[in-house]
Amino acid sequence: MRTDHEELCGSSYGSFCLNGGICYTIPTVSSPFCRCVENYTGARCEEILLPSIKSHTRGELFAAVLASVVVLSVLVAGAFFFLCRKGQILRTSSVERGDNLIGRNSSNGCNKITE
Total-model pTM: 0.41
HEC assignment per residue over 94-114: HHHHCCCCCCCCCCCCCCCCC
41-90 per-position pLDDT tens digit: 999 999 998 876 565 677 888 889 999 999 999 999 998 888 888 776 66
Distance CA 72, CA 84 (A): 18
Please tell me what DSSP assigns to residue 35. Answer: E
* Least reliable range by pLDDT among 12-26, 72-86, 101-115: 101-115
